[in-house]
Structure 1
């Protein structure tokens, strides 16, 4: 995977400085940072040593819970194929778990209420053979909260999703992943077990510059929660996929659904949320998506910024220390601030439907003013014009039947339609039953409840 855009020398030096200070301050034996822009890596550098060599974009590291993003994509493929619905109880497809009432959506969004970890021993540090059966992942009392009520991160929940993939595909989850996702995307260095060149995991003494080797365990049925190994270059490919989608794997619309926040912890509201296998973060005024990961001896982070077309990736071989997520976000910020994305040239639409053009302009919901403008491919955008920008704006996509579907904010999923009078002229807009008129409370307008026949006047009396 080669770079298509050369960054400026000052930008490259700032990136190197951030990765170098992250490796030193985090006291990690090695660290690799990468930046992906518009589908390709534009910068990859390693610091420290792996087997006596400076690591590069082809050096494997264990990526921990970044694995969950891959499992979630496999589940959404099953949904898009009609093999399951997100509202299906788990027991409908995977019987015998003891928690068959939780839904696929609950598991994807960490709202199942299941325990964060398996019953002892510590699954990340013990052989997977200790849990040969699905029931061994949960124990006798796995429920911590009512399903659907709150965000509660659950590693066993994603192990159940991996088992669900195996049940419906009739093959191991990692073989399904290789066949359906990794091969189409060219991610040949993302594997369930390490392949040279790869980093070894280390623990760093908290009070001395000494290290201790961390053992690598194959986690068996818990593997879908954090087993994979990958490289910075492969994760650039994954970031490019998360940014744009790939019809061979998953449509862009489904990825947008996965990014949409499903839940968050109350104390993190506005700063962190969890969608369907993807985390979202607020950092430096930017909205970032991705996931973090950790396993004994390793830390990983992938952050994607849709608006900037950028991704930051960090891989390190220390149990704790380097702030992988913060470094990844900083890599995005460095490039975006120094070399902001050049917008595509503006050009007029190739064709304009005059009936649509006639809908544009000023509309009113009561006394709240809105501007309606025509966007590409027959889309519409409703923007509040009142003082202070109060009002509910939204973008709408044409549905092909003369109506439009809301894409964001309050009107997401709501239908906008044009209501015409008997003579064919436009009477008003109906937005989820709300009426928008050309004039505020004009007696001739169709306003639910009618309009005061006195009309507008001065001092209320």
Structure 2
């Protein structure tokens, strides 16, 4: 896709007629274009709507991947394979302040680590890649650990969102499991939930031919992102069908590591955080959620566990999906 190209309009709608009618005006008001998938689950009843897409259209889900890494962690804790207070330094030979950071601090964004690497050369490369509408996440595990070793912790123990921290957690889980992160995710989550079209490409070579790309908020075509060592923080590609399976399993307790959903710490502004998941009180309901953004994609998953309801929205346009998803989630019959 050429960066000079312009995005097409929102694609033709298929799926549940009532859901299409409710959601289409909201998508258009958010300037969503090209392909969008919406799944609405309530007490086991699933309805879907697609715009220019199908059930097997593959999207980048961005930081919603963090909830999957959190599931792997919670599952490993339950199985006695790792402890919440296991330190990063006990898994990797990390120097500096990050040595003593615990797995539980990583999964809850309370490690004090920066959002991404603080190494100037790495930051400069990432900025140039982003300006050229290319994938900025090319660091391998060695570079990731070097970034951790150089990092200065700030306000450790308080909430501060960190892609670096979640990437380190996922790589530590993979190291403890004697495998690579994509294989661990395939075996411990995707395989168990029959999420057969979900993948975690680490490099451009892992992308399938013709992989769907997306559009920035300003309408530029973006390269597909393969996040290499940062994959546990945002590297999964998935379909609406697979993500609906994931949401259903979270609601009925069948998902591995479902304890990740439980709110445990203050994240500011009345928000709580569990293992990656955010929890807000909105209009009298408890909403458990996570969103995601890559160069050309947006995603949102929101759960109302009390009403056994969930909404998933996937799009190949960068846009704010949170309000749309929560509005749909909290609609009353």
Fold in common (TM above 0.5): yes
Give the deviation of 1:305 after TM superposition: 1.0
- Provide closer, same or farther for how the CA distance between residues 180 and 277 of structure 1 changes in structure 2, counting only shifts above 3 A: same
- In 2, the alpha carbon distance for the partners of 1:310 and 1:196 equals 35
Q: Which residue of 1 aligns with 2:267?
A: 265
Q: Secondary structure at the match of 2:38?
A: strand
- Check the 8 A contact 2:88/2:94 in 1, yes or no: no
Larger Rg: 1
Provide the aligned length of Structure 1 versus Structure 2.
300
Q: Secondary structure at the match of 1:133?
A: helix
Q: Which residue of 2 aligns with 1:35?
A: 40
- In 2, the alpha carbon distance for the partners of 1:304 and 1:277 equals 14
Deviations 1:195-234 (A, max 9, x none): 58864211243xxxxx321112322111111011111111
Q: Secondary structure at the match of 1:301?
A: strand
- Check the 8 A contact 2:211/2:224 in 1, yes or no: no
Q: Going by fraction, where is helix more abundant, 1 or 2? A: 2
- Provide closer, same or farther for how the CA distance between residues 136 and 95 of structure 1 changes in structure 2, counting only shifts above 3 A: closer
Q: Which residue of 1 aligns with 2:48?
A: 44
Given the alignment, which residue of 143, 153, 164 partners 1:143?
Answer: 153
Give the deviation of 1:155 after TM superposition: 0.5
Q: Which runs of 4+ in 1 moved over 6 A?
A: none
CA RMSD of aligned residues (A): 2.2
- In 1, the alpha carbon distance for the partners of 2:92 and 2:79 equals 18
Q: Which residue of 2 aligns with 1:66?
A: 64
- Provide closer, same or farther for how the CA distance between residues 225 and 94 of structure 1 changes in structure 2, counting only shifts above 3 A: same
- In 1, the alpha carbon distance for the partners of 2:272 and 2:17 equals 32
- Check the 8 A contact 2:64/2:299 in 1, yes or no: yes
Q: Secondary structure at the match of 1:56?
A: coil
Deviations 1:26-60 (A, max 9, x none): 222232111123346x211122xxxxxx2122211
Q: Which residue of 1 aligns with 2:5?
A: none
User: What are the within-5 Å matches in structure 2 for residues 312-327 of structure 1?
Assistant: 312-319=311-318, 321=319, 323-327=320-324
- In 2, the alpha carbon distance for the partners of 1:163 and 1:97 equals 16
- Provide closer, same or farther for how the CA distance between residues 204 and 153 of structure 1 changes in structure 2, counting only shifts above 3 A: closer
Please, which runs of 5 or more residues in structure 1 have no aligned partner?
1-11, 48-53, 206-210, 339-461
Q: Which residue of 2 aligns with 1:126?
A: 136
Give the TM-score taking structure 2 as reference length: 0.83
Q: Which residue of 1 aligns with 2:166?
A: 158
Give the deviation of 1:89 after TM superposition: 2.1
Give the deviation of 1:139 after TM superposition: 6.0
- Provide closer, same or farther for how the CA distance between residues 113 and 204 of structure 1 changes in structure 2, counting only shifts above 3 A: closer
- Provide closer, same or farther for how the CA distance between residues 134 and 196 of structure 1 changes in structure 2, counting only shifts above 3 A: closer
- Provide closer, same or farther for how the CA distance between residues 325 and 221 of structure 1 changes in structure 2, counting only shifts above 3 A: same
Q: Secondary structure at the match of 1:330?
A: helix
Give the deviation of 1:162 after TM superposition: 1.2
- Provide closer, same or farther for how the CA distance between residues 128 and 160 of structure 1 changes in structure 2, counting only shifts above 3 A: same
- Check the 8 A contact 1:314/1:325 in 2, yes or no: no
- Check the 8 A contact 1:97/1:134 in 2, yes or no: no
Deviations 1:236-291 (A, max 9, x none): 11111111222xx63xxx52x4222222333x11xx22101211122332111131
